[in-house]
Structure 1
Amino acid sequence: MATQSAEPIYLNLNADDPDLGTTEIESICMNCYKTGITRLLLTKIPFYKEVVIMSFTCDDCGYQNNEIQSGAEIKEKGIKIKLTVNEEKDLNRRVCKSDYSSIRIDELDFEIPAKSQKGEITTVEGIIDRVINGLSQDQDRRKTEHPEAAEQISAFIAKLEELKELKKSFTLILDDISGDAYIENLCAPHADPKMHVTNYSRNKDQNHLLGIFDRDEIEDEKEDKEVQEQNENNEKLKPIPEGAWPLEELHGEVLQFQTNCPECKADCETNMKMTKIPHFKEVVIMATVCDRCGLKTNEVKSGGGIEEKGVKIEVKVTSREDFSRDVLKSEHCHLAIRELEVEVGPSALGGRFTTIEGILTAMKEQLSENSAIFRDSADKDSEERMEKFLEEFQRVLNGHREVTVVLDDPTGNSYVQALTDDGKPDTNLKIIHYHRSFEQNEELGLNDMKVEGYEDIENN
């Protein structure tokens, strides 16, 4: 975009600060190498996250450029979004793409590879227009020098124009290894039936492309030894020899280990305890409190592996007694409220051990945070729709409306407490075990996992 001046500039940007405004810095124009102005604005995209919008202008040569970058840390997983476009409003959906986003249209066998374009905020129609403009450049000269290639390009441009005119529906696939891609959900806060979102784990090459390396890849043996000695001095949790300390003895014991605060990166401690949920399995509960910034986090993980089958749990909330049911939601569990037509993905609430009331309250709090984004939005319909939805959600929490809470966990590690312990069926609780699909196994990394005969592969 533009090269900043040699003097380092440190910006403390906070999207919640109403007085933030636009920040201006002097930059070197990459066209004429004279000084221009780069304007930075930190803003929030509804139901997405904070982003930094940058705009550069050079008064000497008139060169202009704009770019968008993530205002948060790199996400743990990549994201793949499939959108079916068959209406005019689909063409007007807002799209946020980063430098690492690739775009594909299956019907035309056409793909824009990652790192070929800068990150930007645009629309579905804007993406097609940009491709058409790029292909149309130098067409006159191409018709003279390479008439066959020009004819093929013209035919392809005509196909792109047909997509804009919606003569037939098409599928737009946005794939981003950094997890920073976004397509507007026109049904928010409900799930969009035209859009399918998948989060996936990156491989080593994709991590390297993002500049993420494991410690053993960037540190030499001396540094590794120093880290090991420091860990021992800090009395970090040490591995337990197999058979030396049975897992049964861990129950009731609270273990501590050193970690870094996910917010301010200060040193803090995480408390870990293994416990058993009656009629279910062992789980590991972890809680972190940062004395520096006051951040409190808690997380629940299964004490075992992935189950042979996935589980879908439906619980009808008809009384205050149902609100008191214990709930274990794993980090891979999808959560939905059928009557409100709302669904949250596994990464939204993470893994937690709580109650029906607790998990519904957490959902409402997260949606309420997103609703604050609409205060400065010109989309009044979305604002009114969100306010009405939150009012209905509050009626559910007040016990004035019966709903069905659905937990869908492909790992089989989620649980809802039954209110009958005498062997009688719980009429408000329905549990379904199912075989995972190929796509679910792929997302969990099970399709490439080999648990038998791997010794032969290593020897070869």
Structure 2
Amino acid sequence: MADRATNEYLNSERAQNDPNDLFAALGKQVLGLSVQDGDDIPEDDRVKVVDQIESLCMNCEENGTTRLLLTKIPFFREVILMSFYCEHCHFKNNEIQPAGEIQEQGAKYTFKLDQMDDLERQVVKSDTAILRIEELDIEVPPGRGRLTNVEGILSEVHQDLEGSQKKRKKDDSELYEKIDGVVQPLIKMLNGAKFPFTISLDDPAGNSWIEPSAEEESTKGKYLIKHYPRSSAQNEALGLGEAATPTDEEGGGMEDVDIIEGQTYDLPIACPGCTKAAHMLLQMVNIPHFKQVIISTTQCNKCDYHTNDVKTGGEIPEKGKRIWLDVKDKADLSRDILKSETCLLKIPECAVDVQPGTMGGRFTTVEGLLTQIRDDLRGSIFETDDNDAPSDSMPEAGKKAWNKFFGHLNKAIKAEIEYTILMEDPLGNSYCQLLDEPGKDPQVRTEEYERTVEEDEDLGLADMKTHRNEDGEYVKEPTKTATAES
């Protein structure tokens, strides 16, 4: 398995200068092997570390050598590491490619760096991903895949910009000054003198990644993951073909259909994963003391894509809402809970911090919600076998931290500890079931709060103009105060 030592080696001077040494050492680090020529191991049990093929050098058009290594990155998935070297012109190149298929959804990672250790976070940038340094408005477009760390990415950007600065200073002083205005802040970022700053990695293929941390990253917005359905244009760019359109026999949608509570509707759609024809089932549900919501499930029989979501309707409330639920025993695990896609969910006792947009909308029980949070994380952190153990190549401190995290979460799922769930929703579209009349359940507390300017901007409310005033001009729609549930 690839680990941080592997990543450091990939970026070292030794690896860049000797591709044979790169894969020899990498193979042993990745697979944990120490196989000598005289080791008494059956030939069939030996793991083939590196494949070597002859390939054309694009620099001198002579034949060079490409070495391929299939490995798995902890917290992520299998990838293929490639190293090319031409002995004729000494051109060399390292690249990474996903070993699996295009994922069902795209993924966007946002990471705020505020300390030197954050520069060491591993980064997988596939050939379809766009990386941005937000404060500098710098965008690294799709290109060859890279396995590096944040420092490595910033260093590459710095080298690309700095490379021709001497020539620019002589030929175009104005352009030189503009680029220098970016280069100097980059140097400060690399030296740790310009914290905090934010990078984002957006990959419609879902095959890119920024390393997570087992420790609680309590700073709001420090590490965010958002999965999203691809657009038709993105699917086409990935070679998935044009989206399927419903036939006349299937129907064209829900136009002119009155949705009746409790009735299930079958809506033909294009699968977000493979663009083939799929089906979405919809049902309107009335939640007592709350509002009507629409629950949907999408299933594709061709690529096995499936997802569940819940949408709330109605007017936009004037204020956001916070809900606290004190979980004290197993009876609380059966409470219905609705976490909208705009909701921030925290469980301080378990170091759980689910940012808005990470899981989408969910209508389930407390036990079901925590189980899903655990399973989603465990699927990324643990191996795919049944032993529920972290990767052998993971640092010992990381193993202890993740085991502690999942140990607390498992106790919470079984109600073996008491804890508090906080849901903070700027649109007030989240809900927790009451076990008594509104206002009489001591374990559920709610409060309304004023949305921040940043929240209004993120939700698109700051620029929403749908109300026509007396002069016939469109202005911001006035919001109304939501009715309190408890």
**TM-score scaled by length of structure 2:** 0.69
- Superposed, 1:299-318 pairs within 5 Å as 299-304=309-314, 306-318=316-328
Write the distance in 2 (CA, Å) between the matches of 1:177 and 1:21.
31
Paired AA for residue 358 in structure 1? G
Q: Are 2:198 and 1:173 aligned?
A: yes
Structure 1 residues 20 and 456: CA distance shift in structure 2, 3 A: farther
Q: In the superposition, relative to structure 1, how do residues 286 and 20 fare at CA in structure 2: closer, same or farther (>3 Å)? A: farther
Residue 114 (structure 2) pairs with residue 84 (structure 1) = yes
More displaced 10-residue stretch of structure 1: 292-301 or 251-260? 292-301
Structure 1 residue 282, shift from structure 2 partner: 0.6
d(CA) in 1 for partners of 2:179, 2:185: 10
Q: Is 2:262–2:284's contact at 8 Å kept on the other side of the alignment?
A: yes
2:61 to 23, 33, 36: 33
- Contact 1:78 / 1:201 at 8 angstroms: preserved in 2? yes
Relative distance call for 1:39 and 1:448 in structure 2 (3 A) is farther
Within a 5 Å distance, the mapping from 1:271-420 to structure 2 comes to 271-291=281-301, 296-304=306-314, 306-373=316-383, 374-420=390-436
What's the offset of the Cα at 1:255?
Answer: 1.0
Deviation at 1:363, TM superposition (A): 1.3
SS at match of 1:66: strand
Q: Find the counterpart in structure 2 of residue 184 from structure 1.
A: 211
2:156 partner letter:
R
> Equivalent of 2:90, from 44, 47, 62?
62
Q: Give the CA deviation at 1:284.
A: 0.9
Following TM superposition, by how much is the alpha carbon of 1:323 offset from its aligned partner in structure 2, in angstroms? 0.8
Does the 8 Å contact 2:74/2:391 carry over to 1? Answer: no
Post-superposition CA distance 1:155-184 (Å, at most 9, x none)? 997876665554x45233213454766543
Displacement of 1:102: 2.2
Q: 2:133 aligns with which of 95, 103, 113?
A: 103
Separation in structure 2 between the aligned mates of residue 292 and residue 210 of structure 1, nearest angstrom: 16
- C-alpha deviations, 1:102-151, integer Å up to 9, x for none? 225x5xxx554332975523233334443554566578888999999999
Secondary structure at the counterpart of residue 61 of structure 2: coil
Per the TM alignment, residue 386 of structure 1 is displaced from its structure 2 partner at its CA by 0.7
One-letter code aligned to 2:123: V
Matched, 1:124 2:140: no
CA deviations 1:33-69 (Å, max 9, x no partner) are 3444555666665556666654433344332223346
Structure 1 CA distance for aligned equivalents of residues 78 and 137 of structure 2: 27
Shift of 1:451: 0.8
Match of 2:247 in 1: 231
Change (3 A) 1:309 1:151: closer
Aligned residue number for residue 455 of structure 2: 440
Relative to structure 1, the CA distance from residue 239 to residue 400 in structure 2 (aligned partners, 3 Å threshold; closer, same or farther) is same
Relative to structure 1, the CA distance from residue 264 to residue 40 in structure 2 (aligned partners, 3 Å threshold; closer, same or farther) is: farther
> What do residues 300-339 of structure 1 show as CA deviations (whole Å, max 9, x unaligned)?
2214354433222110110111111111122222222111
SS of residue paired to 1:113: strand
Please report how far the alpha carbon of residue 389 of structure 1 lies from its aligned counterpart in structure 2 after TM superposition.
1.7
User: Hey, what's the Cα distance between the residues in 1 that align with 2:227 and 2:413?
Assistant: 35
Provide the secondary structure at the position in 1 that maps to 2:448.
Answer: strand
Give how far 1:22 is off. 6.4
| Runs (5+) with no aligned partner, structure 1 | 1-18
Contact 1:199–1:443 under 8 Å retained in 2: no
The secondary structure found in structure 1 opposite 2:279 is: strand
1: distance between equivalents of 2:68 and 2:272? 25
Task: Give the RMSD, CA atoms, in angstroms.
Answer: 4.4
Matches of 1:20 and 1:261 in 2, distance apart? 38
Mapped to 1, the partners of 2:49 and 2:286 lie a distance apart of 51
User: How far apart in 1 are the matches of 2:435 and 2:255?
Assistant: 39
Tell me the secondary structure at the aligned position of residue 112 of structure 2: strand
Aligned residue in 2 for 1:93:
121
Q: Report the 3-state secondary structure (helix = DSSP H, G, I; strand = E; otherwise coil) of the residue aligned with 2:318.
A: coil
The question of whether the paired residues in 1 share the 8 Å contact of 2:330 and 2:414 is answered with no
- Any conservation in 2 of the 1:40–1:53 contact (CA below 8 Å)? yes
Q: Provide closer, same or farther for how the CA distance between residues 329 and 135 of structure 1 changes in structure 2, counting only shifts above 3 A.
A: closer
Give the drift of 1:385: 1.2
- CA offsets 1:177-214 (integer angstroms, 9 cap, x no match): 5476654344x253353863567999x9x99799769x
Provide the identity percentage: 34
Deviation at residue 425 of structure 1 after TM alignment: 2.3
Contact 2:218 2:353 in 1 (8 A): no
Match for residue 431 of structure 1?
446
For 1:254 and 1:20, how far apart are their aligned partners in 2? 53
